[in-house]
Amino acid sequence: MGLESHLMVLVLFIFFHPYPLIMYFMSLGLLLTYCLMVDNGAYDLPDGNQSENRKAKKRKKMSKSQGNGEVVNSNITVCVERSGETEMMEEDRSKGEDAKPSNVRTLKNGLVIQEQEKGKKDGKIAASGKKISIYYTGKLKENGAVFESNAGQTPFKFRLGKGEVIEGWDVGLEGMQVGEKRRLVIPPTLTSESDGHSDKIPPNSWLVYDIELVKVH
């Protein structure tokens, strides 16, 4: 027999009891007890759902806990995911800083060719046997000291692939496009003292040339 049925019996009993006032207060006490039980969740409503007051209090309590900095499971997951993303981003960034550029080629003869800036889309291509004009700056790989440059001067003109310049140039400038900028790191085996600057270049030195192709004739 449910609590509601008991209440109905008591209400009917009041009308037939010789002392209705006493039964009134007893019924009132029982009604208050019933309300407290429902509010605290000790008794469910007939439809099986919790009271709205209890749900509201529960939501309020959860909101207060989050506001006070208490850990909530959903927040833990979000924090872990965000932390993982941050770590992955930091790892990718460090890899990107340490990794060599993808536009660097190293040939079997030791020559290193690095494309620093792409040429014009419709620019002519430097090929063996053609005359080309370039700007260049030569430095020692060991200490970065500049030993020759024609920057701001008349472009240097020569025929590519015919031995008019050091072998590192003949090989490293092949396939270059007008407007393109390259850096050549040339081993001693592909250099020569015939360039007229042997007094500035120590023996067996690696040379670094920054070159811009100005024109293909």
Task: Tell me what pLDDT residue 210 has.
Answer: 97
Number of H helices, E strands in the chain: 5, 7
List of residues 6+ apart from 201 with CB closer than 8 A: 140, 147, 191, 193, 207
Q: pLDDT (tens digit, 9 = 90+) per residue, 84-98? A: 444 445 555 555 444
Is the dihedral angle over the CA atoms 198, 200, 205, 206 positive or is it negative?
Answer: negative
* Alpha-carbon distance values, 136 to 98, 140, 151, 198 (Å): 28, 13, 7, 17
Task: Tell me what pLDDT residue 83 has.
Answer: 45
Task: Tell me what pLDDT residue 192 has.
Answer: 75
Task: Tell me what pLDDT residue 5 has.
Answer: 64
DSSP notation for 111-148: -EEEEEE---TT--B--TT-EEEEEEEEEETTT--EEE
Task: Tell me what pLDDT residue 147 has.
Answer: 93
Task: Tell me what pLDDT residue 22 has.
Answer: 65
List of residues 6+ apart from 156 with CB closer than 8 A: 133, 134, 135, 136, 150
- The pTM score is 0.53
Task: Tell me what pLDDT residue 75 has.
Answer: 46
Question: What domains, with CATH codes, occur in the chain?
Answer: 3-67 (no CATH), 104-216 (3.10.50.40)
Q: Which residue has the tokens 């008794």?
A: 43
Q: Which residues of the chain have pLDDT under 50?
A: 45, 47-51, 70-88, 96-101, 194-196
